[in-house]
Amino acid sequence: MAHKGRVILHVDMNSFYASVEQAHDPSLKGKPIAIAGNPKERRGILVTCSYEARALGIYTTMTVHEAKRKCPELLLLPPDFQKYRHASKEMFTILRSYTPLVEPVSIDEGYLDVTELSKERHALSIAQEIQARILAELDLPCSIGIAPNKFLAKTASDMKKPMGITVLRIRDIEQQLWHREVVNMHGIGASTAKKLNAQGIFTIGDLAKTEEFKMKQILGKNGVRLRARANGVDQRMVDPEAIFDTKSVGNSTTLPEDVTDVRTLHKTIEGLCKKVVERLDAKRLAGSTVSIQIRDADWHNHTRSKTMSNVLYRYDEIYDIACTLFDKHWDESPVRLLGVTVSNVVDRKDYSQQLSIFDFQEHAKDEPILKLVDEIEGRFGKGIIKRGVDLGKRSSYQSQTSFSKDFLDDHE
């Protein structure tokens, strides 16, 4: 790799949960296995499956019923998240032994900036050693992409699985990527691909060649960003702190059966809002946008949002908005899943509340204290004084936002 630019690795664990189960129980190796939720609670969706299962036509998000029908010998295991979390921690410990510039993306993937290290040894040699160590020490397979930026490194790691190492240079983009359909580009989902197709943009090459102003018309700022990446441009740095920048806090639940009773659905929304508020409190966050997700019996997803001028973190406010959104947009068809999310979140300490004429008096009395705090912070540094009521972020299960997020505690 040339030393003029950055050298980024993207390490992506292969069939992580299934591979961890096979590492813990060698008798599972070579067999088709899948990790799934509880079918009795309608959470019978495959979270992941081994490569042996994939070879038989099994894939992630397939229902348990469908998978067993297709592959009767499929071994189904319940998720053991503590086991996966421990393996993730061990994997990231290996990555950090090469450089402190490690950015976890999820429980089973992360970026490394090995620019400095690559001045002493070839990037391919570094990647080969990392892959070999993870296999030898943890008995887990991974694929690694090597590139001058994060987008290309991520794209490269997807090219050879399992146990692949791929180098993707900017000069290779036209030959390696441009012939692919846009839906196969990292960062583009089915709905975005549909919008692009409607504008005559079918391949990554089409996207790369489209005028910037047109991309902005089609997809806004994201269109400009995607066009740049299709041309191999991505300025994002590897940031070890990036994963802690929570953008949303949400909770969803699959109902035991399809529901049409509005009181039951309101009760479900109430429970979801309480969990979201617990997590906002635990992280000391507040957000300005409330979204409701409705999935009907035919698996059609409907998401509606409302953005407020002030941030929200109280249960009654969030519940009122979520229920109003639901009542307005539910078409009375049977509901399979409900979700509530608060997004555009900020740290409660960092936002400035907009003062109305009614609460100005309440805040005016704080003004002399705030002036004193400003003076002290001017002399001794920002953040030297904290309000006594600020207990900080609570480390508990309530601060977690999803099945796979509490691995973040291992990176504190």
Flag whether 136 is in a domain. no
Q: Is position 60 within any domain?
A: yes
Are both 289 and 403 inside the same structural domain? yes
Residue 291 and residue 398 in one domain: yes
pLDDT the model gives residue 358:
42
| 15 three-state secondary structure | coil
Place of tokens 């740049």: 228
Q: Looking at the structure, tell me whether residues 264 and 340 fall in a common domain.
A: yes
- Shared domain check, 395 and 276: yes
Domain count, the chain: 3
Where does a domain end: 80, 98, 129? 80
- Domain of 57: which CATH number? 3.40.1170.60
Per-residue pLDDT 10s for the chain (412 aa) are 434 689 999 999 999 999 999 999 999 999 999 998 765 554 578 889 999 999 999 998 888 888 999 999 999 999 898 999 999 999 999 999 999 999 999 999 999 999 999 999 999 999 999 999 999 999 999 999 999 999 999 999 999 999 999 999 999 999 999 999 999 999 998 889 999 999 999 999 999 999 999 999 999 999 999 999 999 999 999 999 877 777 789 999 988 889 999 999 999 999 999 999 999 998 888 999 999 999 988 778 888 999 998 889 999 999 999 999 999 999 999 999 999 999 988 887 665 444 344 444 444 444 455 556 556 655 665 455 544 434 444 444 444 444 445 566 666 5
CA atoms within 13 A on the CB side of 311: 19
- C-alpha 384/C-alpha 214 separation (Å) is 48
285 shares a domain with 224:
no
Q: Which residues are catalytically annotated? A: 109
**Residues annotated in a binding site for Mg(2+):** 12, 108
Give the C-alpha separation, 104 to 111, whole Å: 6
Q: Which of 80, 106, 123 is the last residue of a domain?
A: 80
> Checking phi first, is residue 202 left (phi over 0); if not, alpha (psi -120 to 50) or beta?
alpha
Question: Which structure tokens are listed for 380?
Answer: 């001794």
Residue at 290 is within a domain: yes
The CATH code of the domain that includes 200 is: 1.10.150.20
